[in-house]
Chains A and B, each alone.
Chain A
Amino acid sequence: LIDVSKSRYETVLIWCIGTVVAGGIIIINTAWHHRDLAATIIYLTLLLMAANVFSIRVVIGVSLICMGMVVLMFFADEGYKDWESLTGFVRCLTALSAIAFLALRCKRSADTLRQNEVYLAGAMKLCRTGSVGFNANAEHMSWSEESAQTFEYPANMPVTKSMIYARTPVEEHPMLEAFFRKAEQREPQIEIRHRLITPSGQIKHIHMIAIPVFAQDDRFEYLGALTDVTEQVVAEEILYRTQAQLTHICRVTTLGELTASIAHEVNQPLTAINSSADGCRRWLARGEPDIQEALNALQRINDSARRASEVVSRIRALARKSDPVRRPESLNEILKETLSVVHYELSHHHIIPRITLEPASVKVLVDRIQLQQVIINLIINACQAMAAVEKHQRVLQVITRQCRDDVILEVADSGSGIDPQLIPSLFNPFFTTRDNGLGMGLPICRSIIEFHGGRIWVQSDEAGARFLFALPLLAE
């Protein structure tokens, strides 16, 4: 906020004027008839200039010297002999002392104000925050040096709203317009996050919160705190990307565990296609072709091909590396699709599935693939937890139910439960009780559920373990 070069020029100028004033004092003091009033005026000038430039001690010194000079001159001129000179002397001394008093008070307030301003500017620099002052209806704005730096404009350039628009990508102009519209409506606090494109092509992310600081009928001024949050946004993006990659790697690893199931699900329709095609050829090659049998066989070929391609699409969707997209989905539908992926896994492990679905068709805002990943993980864990259980006692319960504003999915096994000492560590990365486990399944489940604004927890007793997650219901 302090322009160093400007204050240097001013100091030089003040010293020049000071020299002129000092010269004036000497000349006036030699002139017999103008000593009293003229000298006082020049002392006052000197005093006010000193108050502007020097420290408070120097100002006190200068005012004492000036008053001393007036007294000295009064006695040197023997003014006490003349009634008019005496009253003139008293007038000058009173005026001089009163103005010295006011100058000192102003000096003290100005010093405090300047100090506060320096502290404020320093604090803003430290927390990388600039200030912006604006009025909803006026084109002209004001801002601090820090804000000008963020927008990469010269600090002394008069700032307008068009300058802000000029640095903002066109697609984000509506956001800015909405921001200023809120200011027009005099909202008590307005906020915006948008991007800037600097002249060098660099992209910055900024965040501004503004509150009204001055309100009169025709004027309603906002003061905003503007922060460059680019580093934070970039770090968040890197974290998000890394997490997405890790989630994908874990998903593919889980699919690896399901290869036998996948092969089974594809081999069934392939068998039907093969047999139907050969059957069809045989029906047609007869002496009297059986067209209806052949047509039925062709229909089965179509159906089986569709089924195989559905299996492949489901698996490909799970294996695909894509950013999560949250859409309104039915949790029951996602569960049914997931069960078709792990269907063979269950029958292979002689597990009896018991599925209880929430009757109301409730919707949640989720990424379908990520949610399937969570359910597959929980089901595979449940299958493994029942490896030591007698075949006909392996029961997997999957339940969806609504609970106030949440929908809960529960995966319960009939294993021997989890050691209570292990429960607090279950969701920690790299914690595993399996020899070949990576220990990332449950931590990824938790990060996915938390990403969707939900929570995941576990209950366990000697009848088995139950993993539950709750997701917020999508408002109708």
Chain B
Amino acid sequence: LVTRPAIAIIDDDDNVRISLDSLLRAYGYTVHVFNSAEQFLASDAVATMDCLISDIQMPGLNGLQMYRQLLASGYCVPVIFITASDDPAPRAIAMALGACCYLAKPFESDNLINCIKSTLNPASKP
């Protein structure tokens, strides 16, 4: 039996979060959803995720601040940032922090799937 890769989606926008959840489940991933960075950090999922998909602009902690905290805590999980903002500054910060992908909303689903595939071990492809 092949273990399905676990992906966490962190986005404060309900429709975006639920849509991505459905899309990734349709591709066979195990998906965990969180509506804020705080909720994710407080959960057990932190240690077990194979990949994170996080929005940048969120009330409270934003995606970049959350990623910094994860790195500081010693977690080294691949992160894909998604944002609806056209501000170029967060992209540079995200890439400097070592983010795998940075996608501007709205993005093609194929781009997201390709990002996920390239960040995960090819052996664990569904």
Contacts and interface: CB of A to CB of B under 8 A. Distances in A.
Interface of A: 260, 263-264, 267-276, 278-279, 282-283, 286, 293, 296-297, 300, 303-304, 307, 344, 347-348
Contacts of B98: none
Contacts of A274: 106-109
Contacts of A347: 57-59
B15 interface: yes
A307 to B, nearest CB: 7
Interface stretch (B17-25, B35-43, B72-80): B17-25
Interface of B: 13, 15-16, 18-20, 22-23, 25-27, 57-59, 82, 84-87, 104-110, 112
Closest 7 pairs between A and B when the two form their complex, measured CB to CB: A279-B23, A282-B26, A278-B109, A270-B106, A272-B15, A267-B84, A275-B19
16 contacts: A264-B57, A264-B85, A268-B84, A269-B15, A270-B106, A271-B82, A273-B106, A274-B109, A275-B109, A282-B27, A283-B22, A293-B25, A300-B15, A347-B57, A347-B58, A348-B57
Given A267-B104, A268-B16, A270-B105, 6 more contacts: A263-B85, A272-B13, A279-B25, A286-B26, A300-B15, A300-B22
B108 A293 contact: no
Given A260-B86, A279-B26, A344 B57 contact: yes
B84 A300 contact: no
B85 A275 contact: no
A308 to B, nearest CB: 10
A260 B19 contact: no
Contacts of A271: 16, 19, 82, 84, 105-107
A297 B24 CA distance: 12
B11 to A, nearest CB: 9
A272 B19 CA distance: 6
B32 to A, nearest CB: 16
A347 B12 CA distance: 12
Given A271-B106, A282-B27, A283-B26, A276 B85 contact: no
